[in-house]
């Protein structure tokens, strides 16, 4: 934690130790004054000395007054969640949906946790839709809207018959629930967090790049039963998609990341076209794990790994480019509900004072689809 002499030791460089350092001359009084002035200066800068409202940022105390003066965060969360969804596949304009007669939501990640949104300490568990990683930096959800809740409300308004199957391991049941539906949406997840909590055998970092909770087999079972299968991935990072991505019945793939408390509502807006997906991948999705430059999977019983960083600056897309490796989806990839083209581009060089690299360009974008939200 901040100021700890050793992580989670409870022994800080501040407090009593700082007092001792000043008294024995290790830290000068002028340095102590400078530290205090930096804190107080920020306090004055934001006007906290004059009629500043009481605030609480402690999500672990839900009875504290929060947003008592203005409450706009709900809309912010919803829009941020929608804006971060990357559409990776959309065959024959499967999405956006247009009032399907029937649909099925498949997978535990579609529904609420059986323990409620805060049932696991520091979010250290995966049961229900994944909307936050785990660890000491987590917070309590004031609420969490699952996709199942949002899609039921939309189905009611559209007179769509909706069903669901939340058992990830009963793939036969999932296939049966998905059959004879206009569209089946399969939800998969992959989580990570801080090392003091182990989830499903994963101590902080993920042990592999596969979907958790039998996700790959769940997708293949549903795709075998429904010719219009849409996949939604809630994941902290890349997954290997090769076991199913080219299946002819998988018509769309949405990469929804870790969306937060408005998860279901954010996804609903994208799936039904109320929000145009325009986000781009912030990393490369490879075809196999060994396409990446580093393979760092070890356990407590293994020797401490040595990492020489021989790849240098060739990380992510630079590595793939330098080794001529074709990824499944490249860094920056992302589809949209509209089409657009670049036209009349001009490049002007303005050299950076330090690096000498060009830092400015100008051009134009012409949208030729139905929406300009893509740019």
Q: Is the pLDDT of residue 375 over 50?
A: no
Strands (E) located in 229-335: 229-235, 250-255
Average pLDDT of the residues in 365-373: 49
Residue whose C-alpha is closest to residue 370's, from 324, 327, 337, 323:
337
Average pLDDT of the residues in 333-357: 78
- Phi, psi (degrees; rounded to nearest 5) at 18: -65, -40
Contact predicate 236/259, CB 8 Å: no
Question: How far apart are the C-alpha atoms of 100 and 94, rounded to whole Å?
Answer: 11
Which residues face 86 on adjacent strands? 255
Which residues face 162 on adjacent strands? 103
Average pLDDT of the residues in 77-92: 97
- Give 374's pLDDT tier (boundaries 50, 70, 90): very low
- Give 11's pLDDT tier (boundaries 50, 70, 90): confident
**Percent residues over pLDDT 70 in the chain:** 83
Question: How far apart are the C-alpha atoms of 55 and 43, rounded to whole Å?
Answer: 14
Q: Is the pLDDT of residue 348 over 80?
A: no
Contact predicate 283/108, CB 8 Å: no
How confident is the prediction for the chain on average, in pLDDT?
A: 88
**Hey, what are 375's tokens?**
């740019």
Sorted by sequence, the CB contacts under 8 Å of residue 16 that are 6+ apart come out as: none
Contact predicate 246/293, CB 8 Å: no
- Give 68's pLDDT tier (boundaries 50, 70, 90): low
- Phi, psi (degrees; rounded to nearest 5) at 328: -75, -50
Question: How far apart are the C-alpha atoms of 125 and 191, rounded to whole Å?
Answer: 9
Average pLDDT of the residues in 82-98: 98
Question: How far apart are the C-alpha atoms of 238 and 189, rounded to whole Å?
Answer: 11
Average pLDDT of the residues in 105-124: 96
- Give 48's pLDDT tier (boundaries 50, 70, 90): confident
- Give 345's pLDDT tier (boundaries 50, 70, 90): confident
Average pLDDT of the residues in 299-319: 84
3-state secondary structure of 365: strand
Give the per-residue pLDDT at 180: 97
Average pLDDT of the residues in 46-73: 67
Give the per-residue pLDDT at 199: 93
Question: How far apart are the C-alpha atoms of 87 and 270, rounded to whole Å?
Answer: 9
Which residues face 12 on adjacent strands? 4
Q: At 347, which helix (H) or strand (E)?
A: strand 340-347
Give the per-residue pLDDT at 246: 98
Buried b (16+ CB within 10 A) or exposed e, 61-85: eeeeeeeeeeeeeeeebbeebbbbb
Contact predicate 327/281, CB 8 Å: no
- What's the gap between Cα 327 and its chain centre? 20
Instruction: Tell me 244's DSSP state.
Output: T
Buried b (16+ CB within 10 A) or exposed e, 214-228: bbbbbbbbbbebbeb
Output 311 or 111, whichever has higher pLDDT: 111
Q: Is the pLDDT of residue 72 over 70?
A: no
Measured between its terminal Cα atoms, the distance across the chain in Å is 40
Pick the CATH number of 76-271 from 3.40.50.620, 3.10.350.10, 3.40.50.1700, 3.50.50.60: 3.40.50.1700
- What's the gap between Cα 276 and its chain centre? 18
* Residue entry with tokens 């929060």: 66
Give the per-residue pLDDT at 373: 45
Using CA atoms, how far residue 320 sits from 92, 312, 327, in Å, is 29, 13, 7
Residue whose C-alpha is closest to residue 184's, from 143, 151, 213:
151
**Which residues make up the CATH 3.40.50.1700 domain(s) of the chain?**
76-271
Give the per-residue pLDDT at 306: 78
Q: Is the pLDDT of residue 299 over 70?
A: no
pTM of the model: 0.80
**Hey, what are 338's tokens?**
């509209």
Model confidence over 217-255: pLDDT tens digits? Answer: 999 999 999 999 999 999 999 999 999 999 999 999 999
Model confidence over 136-154: pLDDT tens digits? Answer: 889 899 899 999 999 999 9
């Amino acid at each position: 934690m901040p100021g700890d002499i050793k992580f989670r030791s409870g022994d800080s460089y501040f407090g009593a130790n700082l007092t001792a350092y000043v008294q024995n001359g290790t830290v000068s009084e002028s340095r102590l004054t400078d530290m205090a002035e930096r804190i107080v200066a920020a306090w004055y800068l934001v006007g906290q000395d004059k009629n500043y409202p009481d605030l609480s940022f402690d999500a672990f105390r839900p009875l504290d007054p929060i947003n008592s003066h203005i409450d706009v965060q709900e809309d912010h969360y919803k829009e941020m969640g929608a804006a971060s969804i990357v559409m990776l596949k959309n065959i024959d304009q499967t999405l956006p949906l247009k009032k399907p007669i029937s649909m099925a939501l498949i997978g535990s990640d579609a529904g609420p946790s059986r323990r409620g949104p805060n049932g696991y300490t520091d979010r250290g568990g995966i049961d229900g839709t994944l909307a936050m990683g785990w660890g000491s930096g987590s917070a309590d959800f004031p609420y969490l809207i699952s996709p199942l809740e949002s899609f039921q409300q939309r189905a009611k308004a559209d007179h769509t018959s909706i069903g669901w199957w939340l058992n990830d391991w009963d793939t036969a049941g999932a296939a049966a629930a998905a059959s004879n539906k206009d569209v089946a949406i399969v939800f998969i997840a992959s989580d990570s967090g801080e090392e003091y909590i182990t989830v499903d055998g994963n101590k902080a970092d993920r042990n592999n790049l596969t979907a958790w909770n039998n996700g790959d087999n769940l997708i293949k079972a549903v795709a075998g039963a429904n010719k219009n299968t849409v996949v939604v991935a809630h994941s902290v990072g890349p997954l290997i998609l090769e076991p199913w991505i080219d299946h002819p019945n998988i018509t769309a793939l949405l990469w929804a990341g870790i969306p937060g408390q408005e998860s279901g509502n954010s996804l609903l807006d994208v799936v039904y076209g109320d929000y145009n997906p325009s986000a781009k991948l912030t990393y490369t999705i490879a075809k196999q794990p060994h396409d990446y430059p580093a393979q760092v999977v070890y356990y407590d019983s293994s020797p401490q790994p040595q990492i020489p960083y021989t790849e240098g600056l060739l990380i992510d897309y630079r590595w793939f480019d330098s080794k001529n490796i074709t990824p499944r989806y490249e860094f920056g990839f992302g589809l949209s509900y509209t089409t657009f083209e670049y036209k009349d581009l001009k490049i002007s060089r303005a050299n950076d004072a330090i690096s000498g690299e060009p830092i400015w360009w100008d051009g134009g974008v012409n949208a030729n689809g139905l929406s300009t939200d893509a740019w």
